[in-house]
Chain A
Amino acid sequence: MGVNDFAKLPHIGESLKRKEDGRFLTGAGQYTDDIRQADQKYAAFVRSPHAHAVIKHVDTSQAAAMPGVMRVFTGADMQGKMGGLPCGWLISNPDGSPMKEPPHPILAHTKVRHVGDQVALVVADTPEQAKNAAEAVQVDYDVLAPVIDMRRASQGPALHEEAPDNHCYTWTLGDKAAVDAAFATAAHVTQLDITNNRLIPNAIEPRAVNAAYHRASDEYVIHVANQNPHVERLLMTAFVLQLPEHKVRVIAPDVGGGFGSKIFLYAEDVALTWAARQLGCAIKWTAERSESFVSDAHGRDHITHAEMAMDKDGKFLAMRVHTHANMGAYLSTFSTCVPTILYGTLLAGQYATPQIYVEVDAWFTSTAPVDAYRGAGRPEATYVVERLVTRAAWEMGLAQDEIRKRNFVTQFPYQTPVALQYDTGDYHACMNQAQQLADVAGYQARKQTSQAKGLKRGIGYSSYIEACGLAPSNIAGALGARAGLFECGEVRVHPTGSVTVFTGSHSHGQGHETTFAQVVAARLGIDPSQVDVVHGDTGRVPFGMGTYGSRSLAVGGAAIMKALDKIEAKAKKIAAHLMEASDADIEFSGGQFKVKGTDKTIPFAQVALTAYVPHNYPLDTLEPGLNETAFYDPTNFTYPAGTYICEVEIDPATGVVRVDRFTAVDDFGVIINPMIVEGQVHGGVAQGMGQALMEHGVYDVESGQLLTGSYMDYAMPRAADFPEFTLGHVCTPCTHNPIGSKGCGEAGAIGSPPAVINAVLDALKELGVKDLDMPATPARVWHTIQTAKV
């Protein structure tokens, strides 16, 4: 079935109310911390108070003797019994040598390398007993100087023996000689130094693990707040604990938001699994928010110098970028591909820039590991490109929209100079619709109204592109991925015609139980209430790579479509037999099998029943049953794109930035459930605006302490911080997956930060302000205004 026919089916494009809401709205959801096992024990971790220190001695005797304490484990107990946490993506230096990949121990043994690094594990009868005992563990440290500023990391003390200058890798992409030559002929070069601020993900459900060992079957059952349970199991069994994979069941039940931070295999998950076997029980650990701040993988944290070479008309000739990327103290699961594969390849943006060269230096610092956070590399790339483009416009005396329109890619497929091939898009259409919805025509009048109140109004554009649906496995493998990146789906038709779908994608808020049910119901001509979606359980779902990179529908949905193709093909044979026709003469639509050119039909449910009660059935040529599994490996990334327009009003006396209007027009290809898609955009835009205006993970340069370690110090966006967002859609269907969808989960967080900051800079232009780093807090904006006056 082609994409266009699929998009016309019933339930496709319908804002069906979510099937999962019932349990969440009545308190019946089951998150990891809600689950209590028989013989449940509780864990607490002893964490380093220092950013960088040698562990001289750990004394657990007092803690071990406290009431209810079963055991206290230290790094010494684990030495030689397990591997460290693996990194899933190998990046190579320009000379072909591999990145520095120092060990990432489950419990720190000889050294701690960031505040919050885990040093010991206490298991006790109650959470309180475990926490009290953790406080009684005495650790004798020899404190070393921390490494916080990555620009000076090479001069700091080495965090790892393997990386004496704290340098992890240099990665380059593009033709440097061609770029340098283009710069030499440019009519104008625009330069920009920018910082992409460190963010702390803050899913509202803290990380949690409940690991149980069952002696009777020699099996492990691990409940964990995680976005990809099969990957968690694979990494844990094959690389760390050397356990038989089939003896470990990982269940990611209801998960309270992820945003990337729950993709990764964390030390706590491994430590509890191992300890559960040592003690023969179930052990639960739920992070306190303070622990989440210091131990969840953080996001972003880039420092970049970017240059754009243009001809006299503002046509882009070449772009040159250097980025310092902070890896934190250890390499988290996908940390290394974020500032490289997911960043450098996106630097073409929506523009036909002929030549691009990017160089990235990745550094170890004594901070929490940095890894994928909503957008992962693509927000950083978009921020570079869109800030640079707006500044270039102003330097060339062009409007923000004009310079974009002059440089948009208009012919597809389009091969960028940074490895990607865009399959389809209509960037002018997104821009035009955004300008209409944002009432750009009325902007000058609004600016005058603001002016009359003594306020500065500005407008900012951002035309983003992202690469989603990670990814063709063979290409990812060639680029250093140590895993495949396909997805698996199983469609199980029951004898009475209802359906259970098993998907390797994982929903932690995205509403797959509804969207995927719509896809299946549409294809089979049944009601969505007859379709249940199962995810997040390695014991029930055949396999899965999980949810990240806005891949669930484009890759996971495509796998389900492939399984449905198989279901349909087999069902047609059964129908042909029942109607005494040839297979080739059977048509299937609206839930009815029909013999072409006749009025003979039978319904889907009758075929389903026949498959399981095969009395009148071609048993000699066809197996009974109607249950099909498919794996789908994408042939390309998908390329959602759009234009965002932000309007801000700034009080120059206080520096307070108020976002007055925010318009987002996105091209996600075919949309299954517009209500859910809009919700994804709202959330993404809110996180992007949070980055632009409020959020900032800050470490003290001297002490290495996390200064923003609680909700009293890290500014989380609240309801009153946002205006009502205006959304629009353009649809150019993805050309290479059967649904035609491109993915919508990250767009908002990718496109919005530069739109906001460009608006702030536009508002402050007349005060002489040229530059401002995120977050544009009142203090920073006010200070910038004062400095510009001088």
Chain B
Amino acid sequence: MMKVELNVNGKPVTADVPENTLLVHLLREHLRLTGTHVGCDTAQCGACTVIANGRSIKSCNVLAAQMQGAQITTIEGVAAADGTPHPLQAAFNDCHGLQCGYCTPGMVMSAIDLLAHNKNASQAEIREQLEGNFCRCTGYQNIVKAVQQAQKTMTA
């Protein structure tokens, strides 16, 4: 067992976990933040995407131990403190950018990173930069539309 200290959604967290615990399992099983999902075992589907120290990562692909001292944001932590949805959350709802909802948290986290680093991304760039996230329901069309809408509201 080892002690991991990190910050999750703005709150300091200390957890005693086995050394081989993945970040996603720390989030889901120890902190019960079950909005971060697991959809594969080869770090391809992106359902487990979270923001770590300002960049999106696949939380199934890092050990909790590697995140010592990190600032982690999960889907549970992206809305404003008063509950106002993040512009991407609002846009996904407005544009019907989700159906079953399973890939959605990872997709939103990837899109947050995308717009943070390329706020004027073209449609082609949005499509390319979401390549790490699978969605089986939407055909991606309304996800792209949602990112474009959030792009407008976030730069307005």
Contacts and interface: CB of A to CB of B under 8 A. Distances in A.
Nearest to B94: A17
Interface residues of A, number: 56
B35 A27 contact: yes
Contact of B99 (A33, A34, A683, A748): A683
Most chain-A Cβ atoms within 10 A of its Cβ — which of B99, B100, B138, B140?
B100
Interface in A236-293: 254-257, 259, 286, 288-290
Interface string A14-33: 00011011111111111101
B45 A27 contact: no
A682 B141 contact: yes
Contacts of B126: 719
Given A21-B98, A25-B75, A25-B85, A683 B34 contact: no
Interface string B121-138: 001101110110111111
B36 interface: yes
Contact of B136 (A203, A290, A685): A203
Nearest to A34: B34
A373 B126 CA distance: 30
A684 B44 CA distance: 22
Interface in B72-105: 74-76, 79, 85, 89, 92-94, 96, 98-105
B41 A683 contact: no
A630 to B, nearest CB: 28
A540 B32 CA distance: 27
B141 to A, nearest CB: 5
A682 B98 CA distance: 12
B101 A256 contact: yes
B34 to A, nearest CB: 4
Given A25-B89, A27-B36, A205-B37, A720 B100 contact: no
Most chain-B Cβ atoms within 10 A of its Cβ — which of A25, A290, A675?
A25
B44 A712 contact: yes
Contacts of A17: 93-94, 96
A262 to B, nearest CB: 11
A289 B89 CA distance: 27
B2 interface: no
A687 B98 CA distance: 16
Contact of A687 (B105, B124, B136, B141): B136
Nearest to A718: B131
B37 A256 contact: yes
A685 B140 CA distance: 11
Contacts of A21: 92-93, 98, 101
A503 B149 CA distance: 34
A722 B76 contact: no
B71 interface: no
A28 B79 CA distance: 13
A452 B131 CA distance: 31
B103 A204 contact: yes
A36 B32 CA distance: 10
Contact of A719 (B28, B99, B140): B140
A712 B100 contact: no
Nearest to A711: B44
A572 B99 CA distance: 38
A398 interface: no
Contacts of A687: 136, 139
Contact of A510 (B99, B105, B124, B140): B99
Most chain-A Cβ atoms within 10 A of its Cβ — which of B79, B99, B134?
B99
B79 A509 contact: no
Most chain-A Cβ atoms within 10 A of its Cβ — which of B76, B123, B135?
B135
A594 to B, nearest CB: 37
A20 B98 CA distance: 10
Interface string A711-735: 1100010111010110000000000
Given A26-B79, A718-B140, 4 more contacts: A206-B39, A257-B136, A682-B141, A719-B130
21 contacts: A17-B94, A17-B96, A23-B101, A24-B104, A25-B92, A27-B33, A27-B36, A31-B34, A257-B102, A289-B42, A509-B100, A509-B101, A679-B138, A682-B138, A683-B136, A716-B44, A716-B136, A718-B127, A718-B130, A720-B124, A720-B131
Interface of A: 17-18, 20-31, 33-34, 36, 202-206, 254-257, 259, 286, 288-290, 508-511, 675-676, 678-679, 682-687, 710-712, 716, 718-720, 722, 724-725, 748
Interface of B: 28, 32-42, 44-45, 47, 74-76, 79, 85, 89, 92-94, 96, 98-105, 108, 123-124, 126-128, 130-131, 133-144
